[in-house]
Amino acid sequence: MTQTERRIVAVAGGSGFIGRAIAHRLANDPGAAVRVLTRDPQRARARFAGDAPNIEFVAADVTQGARLGEAVAGAAAIVNAAQFDGYPIENRARGLTFQRVDYGGTVALLAAAQAAGAERFIYISGAAADERSAIGAFRWKGRAERAIRESGIEFTILRPSLVYGPEDRVVNTIARTLKFAPAMIVPGDGQQRLQPLLVDDLAACVALAAGGRGRDGIYEIGGPEAMTFDALVRLVMEITGRRRPLIHIPEAALRLAGRIAELAPGALFSREAVDFLVADNACDLAALRAEFPLTLTPAREGLKYLAAV
C-alpha cells in the first residue's frame, strides 16, 4: 500500500507524552499514514528516536488557527491530544492557559477539520470535564467538548483518568521522590479516587476510534480498578521497594502555596494545579467496555517498569 493510499490521521500534540503513544500505535496500522502536528518538527522527530514508520512531522500550533488548514489537508481523522507546556500549571504571561489551548485550540482545529473535509474528530478530554464546573480547567475542557458535539463532524470524546507510563509526570515524580526523600508528601487527604490508565491502553482506544469505533460518543476511560491516591503511592512503594511515611498536606495549605507562587515570576505552582491534585478522577467504564474491545491493564502490571527507576 502506498503513502497516498493510506488513510491520513493527523495528531495534534503528537510530540507530547500522550500524543507520541497515540502516533506510535497508529503508525503500526498498515492502513494509516500518521501526521504529527507539532510546533517543532525537527525536535519532535528526534523524540521518536528514529522509530517513526509511516509518520510525517508538520509544523502547526493549535493556537495559530490560520495555519492549521494546510497541516490537516487530506486528513480523514484528526486527534486532538495537545497540551500546553507545564500542564496543568498555566502561564498566562506566555498565553499557556486552558481557555486558549484546550478550548481555543480545539475550536481552531475543528474549523480546520471542517474546511479540510475530515470525517472524524477525536478529542482527549479529561475525567472531570464539565462546562458547568467552577474549576476553569474542567470548565474549558467541557466547553471544548460542546464545540465538538455541535460541529457536525463525527466525533469520539475520551475522558481519561490519570494517565501513566514511562514518561508521565505524576507517577514518575512519585517514584523519584521515594528514591531521594525520607517521606512522601501527599496532596490533600490522599483519598481522592482515580483509575490509573496505562498510556498504551489509551492509544489503543484512540486507534479503534480512528477506525470507526465510538461514533458520536463520550467515553470515560481508566484502568480496571479504582483506588485512592494514597493507595497509588503505596503501590509505587511496593513496586520500587522504597517504603516511606506519608505526610498529607491540607488542601487549604496547598491553595495558599499556590496563591503565593502565582505572584512570583514564572509558573511553578498555582491554585489551579491544586484542583487537579485533589480532584476525583474515577471512571464509569460501562459505556467504554460496551463499545471498545479493549483489555485494560491493571496498575500493578502496568507500573512494573518502575522497578528499574
What per-residue confidence (pLDDT) applies to 198?
98
| Eight-state DSSP code of residue 281 | B
Q: Report the share of the chain in percent with pLDDT over 90.
A: 83
CB 63 within 8 A of CB 108: yes
Per-residue model confidence as pLDDT tens digits over 158-188:
999 999 999 999 999 999 999 999 999 999 9
Secondary structure of the chain: what % helix, strand, coil (to 5)? 45, 20, 35
Average pLDDT of 34-63? 89
Per-residue model confidence as pLDDT tens digits over 211-239:
999 999 999 999 999 999 999 999 999 99
Q: How many residues does the chain have?
A: 309
What per-residue confidence (pLDDT) applies to 5?
72
What per-residue confidence (pLDDT) applies to 4?
53
Break the chain into its structural domains and give their ranges: 3-163+198-222+282-296
Measured between alpha carbons, how far is 161 from 186 in angstroms, rounded to an integer?
Answer: 18
Identify the three-state secondary structure at position 240.
helix
Residues 6 or more apart whose Cβ sits within 8 Å of residue 143 = 103, 131
Residue 6 C-alpha cell reads as 493510506
CB 208 within 8 A of CB 293: yes
Q: Is the dihedral of CA 120, 19, 157, 302 positive or negative?
A: positive
CB contact burial 236-259 (16+ within 10 A = b; e otherwise): bbebbebebeeebbebeebbebbe
* pTM given for the model: 0.95
Domain 3-163+198-222+282-296 is found in CATH 3.10.450.50: no
End-to-end CA distance of the chain: 41
Helices and strands (H and E) in the chain: how many: 12, 13
Measured between alpha carbons, how far is 190 from 246 in angstroms, rounded to an integer?
Answer: 9
CA neighbor of 271 nearest in space, from 294, 250, 255, 286:
255
What per-residue confidence (pLDDT) applies to 3?
52
Backbone angles phi, psi at 75, to 5 degrees: -75, 135
CB atoms closer than 10 angstroms to residue 230? 17
Identify the three-state secondary structure at position 145.
helix
| Eight-state DSSP code of residue 288 | H
Per-residue model confidence as pLDDT tens digits over 264-304:
887 789 988 899 899 999 999 999 999 999 999 999 999 99
Residues 6 or more apart whose Cβ sits within 8 Å of residue 102 = 137, 140, 141, 144
